[in-house]
Amino acid sequence: MSAEAERKTETIPQWKQEEVDDIADLVRSYSSVGIVNVAGIPSRQLQTMRRNLHGSAELRISRNTLVERALDEVDEGVEELKQYVAGEVGLIGTNDNPFGLYKQLEESKSPAPISAGEVAPNDIVIPEGDTGVDPGPFVGELQSIGASARIMEGSIQVTEDSVVAEEGEAVSEDVANVLSELGMEPKEVGLDLKGVYSDGVLFEADELAIDVEEYRADVEAAAARARDLSVNAVYPTAQTTPSLIAKAEGEAKSLGLQAEIESPDVVPDLVSKADGQVRALAAQIDDEEALPEELRDVEAPAAGAAEDESTDEETESEADEAEEEAADEDDDDEDDGGAEGLGEMFG
> The domain 124-185 belongs to what CATH superfamily?
Ribosomal protein L10, N-terminal fragment, domain II (3.90.105.20)
Mark 115-152 as b/e (b = at least 16 C-beta within 10 Å).
eeeeebeeebebeeeebebeeeebbebbeebebebeee
In this chain, the answer to whether the domains covering 3-109+190-209 and 124-185 adopt an identical fold is no
CA distance 183 to 178: 9
Closest by alpha carbon to 280, among 311, 305, 312, 314? Answer: 305
Using DSSP, state whether 59 is helix, strand or coil. strand
Q: CA angle 271-274-280, nearest 5°?
A: 140
Q: CA angle 120-125-128, nearest 5°?
A: 170
Q: Show pLDDT as tens, one digit a residue, over the chain (347 residues).
A: 444 544 555 577 888 999 999 999 999 999 999 999 998 787 878 888 888 888 889 999 999 999 999 999 987 889 999 999 999 999 999 998 899 899 889 888 888 888 899 889 889 999 999 998 899 999 999 999 999 999 998 899 999 999 999 999 999 999 999 999 999 988 888 899 999 999 889 999 888 888 778 888 999 999 999 988 988 888 888 888 888 888 888 888 888 888 888 778 788 888 888 877 877 777 777 776 667 766 766 665 555 444 444 444 444 455 455 555 555 555 555 444 444 444 444 44
pTM here? 0.54
Q: What pLDDT shows up at residue 83?
A: 94
Q: What pLDDT shows up at residue 198?
A: 92
Domain ranges in the chain are 3-109+190-209, 124-185, 213-346
Closest by alpha carbon to 318, among 224, 248, 233, 237? Answer: 248
CATH of 3-109+190-209, one of 3.40.640.10, 3.20.20.140, 3.30.70.1730, 3.30.70.270: 3.30.70.1730
CA distance 47 to 166: 31
CA distance 302 to 69: 89
